[in-house]
A and B are shown apart, each in its own frame.
Chain A
Amino acid sequence: MSAPVTSPSETFDCRVAFAEELSALAREDERIVAVCNDSVGSSNLVKFQQEFPDRLINVGIAEQDMVGVGAGLALSGYIPFVCGASPFLTGRALEQIKADVAYSQSPVVLCGMSPGMAYGELGPTHHSIEDLSWLRAIAGLDVVVPADPAETRSAVRWAAHANRPAFLRVGRFKVPAVTGDRPFTFGAATTLRDGTDVTVVAAGTMVSRALEAAEEAAEQGVSVRVLNMSTIAPLDEDAIRRAMTETRGIVTAEEATTTGGLGAAVAAVVVTERAPVPMRLLGIHREFAPTGTTAFLLEHFGLTTGDIRQAAIGLARTDA
């Protein structure tokens, strides 16, 4: 597989693609509705509201109500996209997500807007780095983290028709286009770059950085495979097992705590195989962030291209 063309100069806020696709879907299917917690602007739903005023249900600043209302709509045949800033959607309404959505098997699409540390200087109250750990622990809930606008669009389209409880992380921090013409495939990792020494498994904002890191590592003679793991749960375990046999180590990179998100999910596969490979888990290690912009915080927590490159090269040069 050849390396995709990336143009890091141009970057995108995935919420734009999200909102455009949601409106397009709503034109096709009158069962599509949006539910939000006063977040019409921050969820980028202003145009949706103008076009479908009756189908935007804004419950105000009330996340538990928002998720319950979403479940009630889903159980009545609608396809609700429940949108709120990810820290409040997942933290405030976690029990509703567990009981009303996942356990009740109500096909709500939970849209965690501006996840990770997208709110930068607003601080840990507004960061959503625990969401992947929390939600991955809930049975029957799909956890999806698109990497760029194109993948966001196809994930939104998938979620609308999947008829399953799902969580989509919709990024605000601008990212380059990296997935090209490869659409989101639920439950499947996408190999964005093949390699033979080390595999980097990345999600969301980390995917473009992993690709750049692989490019730089190649210049130093290390061949890095890059997997875009846009479905965190259920995990594409076969892709991990292939990475274990076809490369010699695995780096995971996520804008989230490493306690239970992507890294922990991959590690759980690796350590239960007959011949585990060494791993590096990049992410946030149970720490509240200091003050700073998103870019600063990603650097602070070792989530830059250089950090990923170093981790990969380090693993490649480790004698197994």
Chain B
Amino acid sequence: MLVADPGTAADWRRFRQEFTDAGPERRREMLRERANQSRTADLHMIGRAGLGHVGGDMSVLDILTTLFFSVLRVDPEKPEWADRDRFVLSKGHTAGALYATLAAAGFFPTAELDTFAGPLSALNGHPNRVKVPGVETNTGPLGHGLPVSVGMAVAGRLSASARHVYVVLGDGELQEGSNWEAAMTAGHRRLSNLTAIVDRNRLQQGARTEETNTLDPLDDKFRAFGWDVLEVDGHDHLALHEAFTAPRGDRPTCVIANTIKGRGVSFMEDRVEWHHKVPSAEQIVTASAELAR
């Protein structure tokens, strides 16, 4: 098991405090800058490893950054704290994005990112809770995160805990039936302590979701299963923050975050081939320059 980096964790705490004290424009800038730093770190990880899921990583990083840097009640130095909020990345193939985010928050040293996908690295191509602090359950096969998150939300209820469970789902992943079993359970049990965030980039591995197996109308589907649904721009950090912290009724919340696969890198945006294509060294330089703007 990797251990926390106290220095980075202290920086993260300062960030969280500054965010709390800041006005909207400053908040937006803070999260935008932080997310793009993680995008750059992730591109380098993928370049070094020669593998990864770059398109989905870029797509989800504004969601992950908003959660870890402005929403989740967690402590990178006490990853086992019983009443922490729970975060599950159901689309486990975007592990690179999660690792870059967790390292930036101090859950483990950023130097560890250099080992991504290398022999015996704790940072496998899909996240492993036994090795990586901040990972709550092992994901990778799709359709697993929501049922486990429902179990965590049921546990929160049984314990009368104030903790909240957040789970990020890929949109293509919603073609797995297990999600709808779990969505039904969450609606039936009125698990208002559960928020599912759909990274709605409309692309799956080989094609557009709507050309493969139609998901729309996704909002109506979740509503029909007993959920409250919010739809936001998944790259608008303040809109994400507002959706993740909105007052909750007595139902689970689904946040449909409309995103762009490959977001932030002009030549990757909304291009299906960047699902798991590996950028060249030159492309990484170009992309990093775009992200530094």
A74 to B155, CA, bound (A): 9
Distance in angstroms from B133 CB to nearest chain A CB is 14
Contact A103 B138 (CB under 8 A): yes
Contact B143 A64 (CB under 8 A): yes
Residues 68-87 (chain A) with a chain B CB within 8 angstroms: 68-78, 80
Contact A104 B147 (CB under 8 A): no
Known contacts A60-B185, A96-B144: A68-B178 contact under CB 8 Å = yes
Contact B151 A69 (CB under 8 A): yes
Among A70, A76, A96, A105, contact of B130 (Cβ-Cβ < 8 Å): A105
Q: Does B7 contact A (CB under 8 A)?
A: no
Contact B139 A99 (CB under 8 A): yes
Among B140, B146, B159, B184, contact of A68 (Cβ-Cβ < 8 Å): B146
1/0 contact string of B143-168 vs chain A (CB within 8 Å): 11011111111111011000000000
Q: Does A304 contact B (CB under 8 A)?
A: no
> Which of A68, A72, A73, A104 has the largest count of B CB atoms less than 10 A from its CB?
A72
1/0 contact string of B99-126 vs chain A (CB within 8 Å): 0000000000000000000000000000
Q: Which residues of B contact A59 (CB under 8 A)?
A: 181, 185
Among A35, A68, A76, A105, contact of B144 (Cβ-Cβ < 8 Å): A68
Q: Which residues of A contact B156 (CB under 8 A)?
A: 76
Q: Does B249 contact A (CB under 8 A)?
A: no
Q: Does A100 contact B (CB under 8 A)?
A: yes
Q: Does A95 contact B (CB under 8 A)?
A: yes
Q: Does A46 contact B (CB under 8 A)?
A: no
Distance in angstroms from B288 CB to nearest chain A CB is 34
Contact B151 A73 (CB under 8 A): yes
Contact B140 A99 (CB under 8 A): yes
Distance in angstroms from B270 CB to nearest chain A CB is 30
Contact A95 B177 (CB under 8 A): no
Q: Which residues of A contact B177 (CB under 8 A)?
A: 64
Q: Is the interface of B mostly helix, strand, loop or mixed?
A: helix
Known contacts A55-B158, A62-B185, A76-B156: A69-B141 contact under CB 8 Å = no
Known contacts A55-B158, A72-B154, A76-B155: A64-B147 contact under CB 8 Å = yes
Contact A99 B144 (CB under 8 A): yes
Q: Does A258 contact B (CB under 8 A)?
A: no
A123 to B101, CA, bound (A): 51
A75 to B137, CA, bound (A): 8
Measured CB to CB, the nearest residue on chain A to B163 is: A76
Q: Which residues of B contact A105 (CB under 8 A)?
A: 129-130
Distance in angstroms from A96 CB to nearest chain B CB is 7
Among A69, A95, A100, A104, contact of B185 (Cβ-Cβ < 8 Å): A69
Q: Which residues of B contact A77 (CB under 8 A)?
A: 82, 155, 159
Q: Does A114 contact B (CB under 8 A)?
A: no
Measured CB to CB, the nearest residue on chain A to B178 is: A64
Measured CB to CB, the nearest residue on chain B to A64 is: B178
Q: Which residues of A contact B182 (CB under 8 A)?
A: 62, 65, 68-69
Q: Which residues of B contact A35 (CB under 8 A)?
A: 151
Q: Does B42 contact A (CB under 8 A)?
A: no
Among A54, A55, A60, A72, contact of B152 (Cβ-Cβ < 8 Å): A72
Contact A62 B181 (CB under 8 A): yes
A164 to B147, CA, bound (A): 20
Measured CB to CB, the nearest residue on chain A to B177 is: A64
Contact B137 A106 (CB under 8 A): yes
A60 to B188, CA, bound (A): 10
Measured CB to CB, the nearest residue on chain A to B153 is: A72
Known contacts A99-B140, A100-B138, A103-B138: A62-B184 contact under CB 8 Å = yes
* B residues at A contact (CB < 8 Å): 82, 86, 128-130, 136-141, 143-144, 146-156, 158-159, 177-178, 181-182, 184-185, 188
| Interface pairs (19), CB distance under 8 Å | A35-B151, A59-B185, A62-B185, A64-B177, A64-B181, A65-B182, A67-B147, A68-B182, A69-B151, A70-B151, A71-B137, A71-B148, A74-B151, A99-B138, A99-B144, A103-B128, A104-B129, A104-B130, A104-B138
* A residues at B contact (CB < 8 Å): 33, 35, 54-55, 57, 59-60, 62, 64-65, 67-78, 80, 95-96, 99-100, 103-106
Known: A68-B147, A71-B137, A105-B129. 4 other contacts (CB 8 A): A68-B151, A70-B151, A71-B147, A100-B137
In the A-B complex, list the 6 residue pairs whose CB atoms are closest, starting with the nearest.
A72-B151, A68-B147, A76-B155, A65-B181, A62-B181, A69-B151
